[in-house]
Amino acid sequence: MVKYIYLILVVLFIVPSCVPKALLLDQPKLVSMYFDRKIKNLESIPNPIKDDKRQLIKTKVEYGFGVIMEQSDRLIEKDYTAGLAGYKKANLIFSEARESAIALLTEREPDFENWLRNESQIQFDREDIFDLYWLAAAFGGSIKSSRGNPFELIHLPYVERLLTTAIQLDPTWGNGTLHSAMMSYTTSRLDLSGEILRDTVDFYFQKAVEYSDSLDAGPFLTYAESIHKPFQERKEFEDKLNFVLEMDVIRNSKYELSNLIAKNRAEWLLSNTDEYFLE
């Protein structure tokens, strides 16, 4: 009982500098409580400034991908109905983040939605990259959590436009974050397959690894799932995931939490390897 109360306090009053984040990954309900509370607090700010709005968008997208989608991916194999409910919840959160991000960009650029549809031109600057990236992530989350909804799939070109623009402004932004996102987008394209798909993903993978100095587990995890798995390359799949598991997690680094989540997912994927490969 004491341990449970302690964990609740950790989640509700989390202090990144002293809390072992790996502990939180084993307590998904408590992590959800933390995100729900944080989102509620951000939404209740009377007159939010730009940074408040940005933080709310970022928090919703992180919650959707890092918690709800992770849980749903695993749950749907055991309880299909509950898994679908999780995807539906994630889709709602991603959609809210998407609309907020569009509104934020439109405040600065009234013609933004026309630009998004490739109907006008806007001169962005480096200050806009944060908003372009998180809007792309929100669109990506909405598409993935919809599980093939055509009304979401039509937004795929928006993801490319947002990420390509951000990369043109500063390819090093986020230490490979933009190129890692382009890896995920590329594997969602219906017009790419075979070696053309692999070559395109390879380009973004190499850039993501270069800019992150190989410290980000994300590109390796994405490559294993999006290339080695569909191409039925079992050994390479296992090698990439084992590489992720063996990566050092540096406390309080920019990659700490994302790498812990990646390790957690890599372990789960490895446990299901026999289901993914024919031989």
Dump pLDDT digits (tens) for 16-59.
Answer: 433 445 545 566 778 888 899 999 999 999 999 999 999 999 99
The answer on 202 and 140 residing in a single domain is no
Instruction: Check residue 128 and report its DSSP letter.
Output: G
Residue 5: inside a domain: no
pLDDT at 132 > cutoff 70: yes
The answer on 176 and 107 residing in a single domain is no
Last residue within a domain, chosen from 167, 188, 222? 167
Please enumerate in sequence order all residues whose Cβ is within 8 A of that of 255, keeping only pairs 6 or more positions apart, or say none: 212, 215, 216, 217, 249
Dist. CA 132–CA 204, nearest whole Å: 18
Dist. CA 49–CA 103, nearest whole Å: 13
Task: Identify the pLDDT of residue 25.
Answer: 59
Last residue within a domain, chosen from 138, 167, 196? 167
Task: Identify the pLDDT of residue 14.
Answer: 38
pLDDT (mean) for 224-246:
97
Task: Identify the pLDDT of residue 15.
Answer: 37
- Helix 50-63 to helix 28-43 angle (10° resolution) is 160
Dist. CA 245–CA 204, nearest whole Å: 22
- Of the candidates 75, 71, 69, 119, the one whose C-alpha atom is nearest the C-alpha of residue 91 is 69
Residue 19: inside a domain: no
Last residue within a domain, chosen from 144, 167, 190? 167
| 34-43, 217-226, 246-255: range with lowest mean pLDDT | 246-255
Task: Identify the pLDDT of residue 24.
Answer: 55
pLDDT at 133 > cutoff 90: yes
Burial (Cβ within 10 Å: 0-12, 13-18, ≥19) of residue 32: middle
Domain count within the chain: 2
pLDDT (mean) for 151-174:
97
pLDDT at 108 > cutoff 70: yes
What does pTM read for this prediction? 0.88
Helices (H) and strands (E) in the chain, counts: 16, 0
Instruction: Check residue 217 and report its DSSP letter.
Output: S
pLDDT at 127 > cutoff 60: yes
Residue 6: inside a domain: no
Task: Identify the pLDDT of residue 5.
Answer: 33
Task: Identify the pLDDT of residue 1.
Answer: 41
The answer on 163 and 223 residing in a single domain is no
Task: Identify the pLDDT of residue 251.
Answer: 72
Residue 279: inside a domain: no
Residue 202: inside a domain: yes
Residue 119 phi/psi, 5-degree rounding, is: -110, 0
The answer on 223 and 181 residing in a single domain is yes
pLDDT (mean) for 250-271:
88
The answer on 68 and 162 residing in a single domain is yes
- Of the candidates 42, 25, 144, the one whose C-alpha atom is nearest the C-alpha of residue 94 is 144
Q: Write out the residue range of the structural domain in which residue 105 sits.
A: 30-44+52-167
The answer on 177 and 88 residing in a single domain is no
The answer on 181 and 146 residing in a single domain is no
pLDDT (mean) for 164-184:
97
Residue 13: inside a domain: no
Dist. CA 128–CA 49, nearest whole Å: 16
pLDDT at 7 > cutoff 50: no
Task: Identify the pLDDT of residue 9.
Answer: 35
- Helix 256-271 to helix 234-246 angle (10° resolution) is 140
| pLDDT top residue among 278 and 180 | 180
- Degrees (nearest 5) of the Cα angle 65, 130, 37? 45
The answer on 150 and 39 residing in a single domain is yes
Residue 94: inside a domain: yes
- Neighbouring CB atoms inside 10 A of 191's CB total 6
Residue 17: inside a domain: no
- % of the chain with per-residue pLDDT over 90: 79
The answer on 228 and 182 residing in a single domain is yes
